[in-house]
Amino acid sequence: MNSKKHLGHTARKRFGQNFLHDNHVIQNIVAAIYPQKDQFLVEIGPGLGALTEPVGEQVEHLTVVELDRDLAERLRHHPFLHQKLTVIETDAMQFDFGALYADQTAEPKQKLRVFGNLPYNISTPLMFHLFKYHDVIQDMHFMLQKEVVKRLCAAPNSKAYGRLTIMAQYFCQVMPVLEVPPSAFKPAPKVDSAVVRLIPHQTLPHPVKDLYWLNRVCSQAFNQRRKTLRNALSSLFSPENLTALEIDLNARAENLSIADYARLANWLADNPPVEVLKDEIMDSEE
């Protein structure tokens, strides 16, 4: 049998299609999501419905975002779910989740509970896209590469701690939920997988004035993670500035907390470095 074929559908590699088929794993994921009847559940990449069906059975309504035209069409004609489903055939990375929240007619509006077994090639940019909507999202449950889940949940002073950790934990409380072996999917991916839960903070614990600077300082520090911060950040901060901001000059990127990065980002927002301003002027003249 063609291992790429599952329930009469040939998996498309470019859409990152690895379909879940292990019932025990599926039940555990649904139990972790714990969908309640009147909640606003939104699935990204429903595919052939492995999670859509058991979640759909527990709620009155389910919204799904699917890019593959054939799969979207199958879901519109789903034998027992089609009346409950709103099928949005689009790229989740371009989709306005804020409008989905705002367009609800019933009051009070419900925050979104987003979940999905995501295509691994787009999981990081898709999470960054969703973080923009953190204030209209109640929680998110995603199947990801196990390595990515480790990075999302990492603590300082570890190898897995990096820009992804900082950005995710800036917006969300993050926790691992369960590990899933390749054999739970068809076709089986080459890597181990894991499910993560992200709960957006009600109030951001370390708010920054401008996310650009948080991203910038994290990229610069972690792109040279073996260097001391004195060297890695030398184009942005003088050693005196770092010391005044209570940063140990000999520390490395992985030793700083999110609060430290937020402090650095806020200082940069108030004191944008001259070189950077020059870069921007050059860019705008191109």
Minimum CB separation of residue 27 from ligand SAH in Å reads 13
Of residues 67 and 232, the one with the C-beta less far from ligand SAH = 67
Q: Does 119 bind ligand SAH (CB under 6 A)?
A: yes
Name the maximum alpha-carbon separation found in the chain.
67
Taking CB under 6 A as the rule, does residue 92 contact ligand SAH?
Answer: yes
Residue 101 CB neighbour total at 10 angstroms: 18
Q: Does 140 bind ligand SAH (CB under 6 A)?
A: no
Pick from 57, 60, 73, 91: which binds ligand SAH (CB under 6 A)?
A: 91
Per rule CB under 6 A, is residue 85 in the interface with ligand SAH? no
Residue nearest to ligand SAH (CB): 45
Neighbour-count burial of 248, counting CB atoms closer than 10 A to its CB (0-12 exposed, 13-18 middle, 19+ buried): middle
Q: Which of 129, 128, 150, 130 is CA-nearest to residue 140? A: 130
Locate the DSSP E strands across 69-206: 85-88, 112-117, 137-145, 172-180, 185-186, 193-200
Among 41, 50, 195, 258, binds ligand SAH (CB under 6 A): 50
What is the three-state SS of 60-83? CCEEEECCCHHHHHHHHCCCCCCC
Query: Binding-site residue total for ligand SAH (CB under 6 A)?
Result: 24
One of 33, 62, 71, 194 touching ligand SAH (CB under 6 A): 71
User: Out of 39, 63, 81, 117, which residue is the one contacting ligand SAH (CB under 6 A)?
Assistant: 117
H or E segment and range at residue 5: strand 5-6
Judge whether 44 and 92 are in contact, CB under 8 Å.
yes
Q: Is 128 in the site for ligand SAH (CB under 6 A)?
A: no
**Contact positions toward ligand SAH, by CB under 6 A?**
15-20, 44-48, 50-51, 65-68, 71, 91-93, 117, 119, 122
